[in-house]
Amino acid sequence: MNKHSADGRADAIELAIFASRITAVCEEMGARLAQAAFSPNIRDRLDYSCAVFDARGRLCAQAAHIPVHLGSMAYAMADIVAARDWRPGEMIALNDPYLGGTHLPDVTLIAPLFVADRVAGFVANRAHHADIGADSPGSMPLSKTLDEEGLVIAPVALVENEQIVASVLDSWLARLRNPPVARGDFSAQIGANRIGLTRLSALIGDADEAAVDRFEQRLAEYNDYARELAASALRELPDGRYEFTDLLDDDGQGNEDLAIACRIDIDGGRVAVDFAGSSEQVAGNVNCPLSVTAAGVLYAFRCLMPDQVPACAGAFEDIEVSAPKGSLLNAEHPHAVAAGNVETSQRVVDAVLGALAGAAPERIPAASHGSMNNVALGSHDAQAPWDYYETMGGGLGAGPERAGASAVQAHMTNTLNTPIEVLERHFPLRMRRYAIRRGSGGAGAHRGGDGLIREIEFRREARYTVLTERRRHAPWARADGEAGMRGENRLDGQRIGPKCSGVAHVGQRLTIASAGGGGYGAASAED
């Protein structure tokens, strides 16, 4: 990076180029990770995220990957960075949700970039491992404690002096059912960080302190620009207090109708989001750490900002998030969290958008299908173990100017489906039906999007776990529209619960039908 003005400040064109280059670092990391990964969940479904952080752990850039990964990393990274004395040539791994992770399948690798003997920044990636050592195949069990969810990784060096620490990796692989696949995925994550370090180093330029100083100045300008744009968008929201409460169906352990209570105070463009009044932490695994709650909040507000607002720390400086300690949204160790990351995060978004409808009624759509519709299947047969994990799309909520899209992922997830050819090649499963759930979107002047139907036949005996939402409480409508149709889960045509686990025998069929999105506006008589 060269100095182009007397005070070293970049003009608008230079800043735009800088923004594109640092974002491209994240995008190339993601491409490398997908190309090198072994498991279908990472290679085909793209269940991973990549980001760049500054020397203090503040978000600099991210690719358009998975919001729940990226938002939680952005929220927790500063504490992770401050807790260690970083060394050149190392990479730190973690998945402990109470020490900067989300849930155990999401393993994060963080690598520092040293320039002129000082930390210039960090690259990080987070990838979902379908097997992280839980007793239940797919490592998304109906758990009651964190230890039941698999291997817990507190921050530890997986790479030292550019070499994998064999004792660390081998101790993990001993807990997993398919060590070659897991080794390949961890190696892919390491490779993604290495290409990130190379590209970030090239962006900084000369290997001296002056180059790092210029890089930090560009980051400061970039964050100032992001905060200015974000603040302008937030100031469009009228001052006041806005509240909304939504409900989770259950926790899989007998507790139902769990409240997500959101209160938003807006004052001159500064925003405080508080979840006091939400349910206490529960026996089941829908609890989540505050970092996951924050990810949902930041995502919802990012949706109200112009597209050109950079996804960096400056964009979120005027947004504060709080939740009572020991509540569903700020759980304490060792409460289980496997579904909190994937399901509760979705309801956080619904609650925030529901509250914002009071501040910007003309901009907020109806609720989307509100679940990642998690399906974990597999067998731990010693002769041929396998683990399969999938999430499913559904209907998007309609808005004031458009109908909701059908059969797509919503809000906190952004993965692909597993292609049927890949699923049937790698696992003893047959896809009997994969279709849009016609008519499941809520009626209205603008109709909600339709959900999905996915029917899987078991070709060998296997264990299944289903973690879903919007099976009891339908996605809500807006402006006199109608709610979306609730989702359904069935085994051989018999309804099963929103969160359940069991054994499926050869020939049985598991059917997941996701919810439709809510409608917007009253339907006309012709509709």
Question: In angstroms, rounded to a whole number, what is the distance separating the alpha carbons of residues 180 and 62?
Answer: 29
Closest by CA position to 87, among listed 122, 58, 52, 57: 122
Question: In angstroms, rounded to a whole number, what is the distance separating the alpha carbons of residues 227 and 53?
Answer: 17
Query: Any residues with CB less than 8 A from the CB of 124 and at least 6 apart, and which?
Result: 50, 51, 52, 53, 73, 77, 108, 109, 110, 111, 193
**Concatenated DSSP letters for 196-230?**
HHHHHHHHH-SSSHHHHHHHHHHHHHHHHHHHHHH
User: Which bin fits 444, alpha (ψ -120 to 50), beta or left (φ > 0)?
Assistant: left
At residue 4, the pLDDT reads 47
The arithmetic mean of pLDDT across residues 213-230, rounded, is: 94
Residue 358 CB neighbour total at 10 angstroms: 16
- Residues 45-72: pLDDT tens digits? 999 999 999 999 999 999 878 888 888 8
At residue 2, the pLDDT reads 46
Question: In angstroms, rounded to a whole number, what is the distance separating the alpha carbons of residues 200 and 182?
Answer: 27
At residue 70, the pLDDT reads 80
Higher pLDDT, 493 or 16: 493
At residue 343, the pLDDT reads 97
Question: In angstroms, rounded to a whole number, what is the distance separating the alpha carbons of residues 125 and 46?
Answer: 12
Question: In angstroms, rounded to a whole number, what is the distance separating the alpha carbons of residues 444 and 423?
Answer: 37
Length of the chain: 527
Query: Any residues with CB less than 8 A from the CB of 21 and at least 6 apart, and which?
Result: 203
Beta-bridge mates of residue 394:
408
At residue 352, the pLDDT reads 98
At residue 13, the pLDDT reads 85
- 433-454: string of b/e by CB count within 10 Å (b at 16+)? eeebbeebbbbbbbbbbbbbbb
Closest by CA position to 290, among listed 248, 326, 243, 250: 326
Cβ distance 475 to 411 under 8 Å? no
pLDDT over 80 at 8, yes or no: no
- Residues 301-334: pLDDT tens digits? 999 999 888 889 999 999 999 999 999 999 999 9
- Residues 409-438: pLDDT tens digits? 999 998 989 999 999 999 999 999 999 999
Two tokens at 322? Answer: 């709080």
Question: In angstroms, rounded to a whole number, what is the distance separating the alpha carbons of residues 454 and 443?
Answer: 23
- How many angstroms from the chain centroid is the CA of residue 60? 18
At residue 525, the pLDDT reads 65
Cβ distance 461 to 406 under 8 Å? no
- Residues 430-459: pLDDT tens digits? 999 999 999 999 999 999 999 999 999 999
User: Could you tell me the pLDDT band of residue 206, with boundaries at 50, 70 and 90?
Assistant: confident
Cβ distance 265 to 289 under 8 Å? no
At residue 6, the pLDDT reads 47
Q: Pairing state of beta strands 156-160 and 91-94?
A: antiparallel
At residue 147, the pLDDT reads 96
- Residues 93-127: pLDDT tens digits? 999 999 999 999 999 999 999 999 999 999 999 99
User: Which bin fits 100, alpha (ψ -120 to 50), beta or left (φ > 0)?
Assistant: left
The arithmetic mean of pLDDT across residues 208-224, rounded, is: 94
Beta-bridge mates of residue 260:
246
Round the average pLDDT of the chain to a whole number and report it: 95
Question: In angstroms, rounded to a whole number, what is the distance separating the alpha carbons of residues 494 and 487?
Answer: 14
The arithmetic mean of pLDDT across residues 342-366, rounded, is: 97
Half-sphere exposure of 138 (CA within 13 A, CB side): 24
Range list of H helices, 37-66: 40-43
Two tokens at 184? Answer: 């390949």
At residue 68, the pLDDT reads 82
- Percentage of the chain modeled with pLDDT above 90: 90
At residue 3, the pLDDT reads 44
Calculated CA dihedral for residues 416, 417, 419, 424, nearest 10 degrees: 140
pLDDT over 90 at 273, yes or no: yes
User: Could you tell me the pLDDT band of residue 7, with boundaries at 50, 70 and 90?
Assistant: low
Rg from Cα positions in the chain: 23
- How many angstroms from the chain centroid is the CA of residue 267? 29
At residue 196, the pLDDT reads 98
Two tokens at 416? Answer: 């692909």
Question: In angstroms, rounded to a whole number, what is the distance separating the alpha carbons of residues 297 and 265?
Answer: 13
Element (H, E) at 127: strand 118-128
Range list of H helices, 37-102: 40-43, 67-82
pLDDT over 60 at 166, yes or no: yes
The arithmetic mean of pLDDT across residues 177-204, rounded, is: 97
Provide the whole-model pTM.
Answer: 0.95
Beta-bridge mates of residue 430:
457
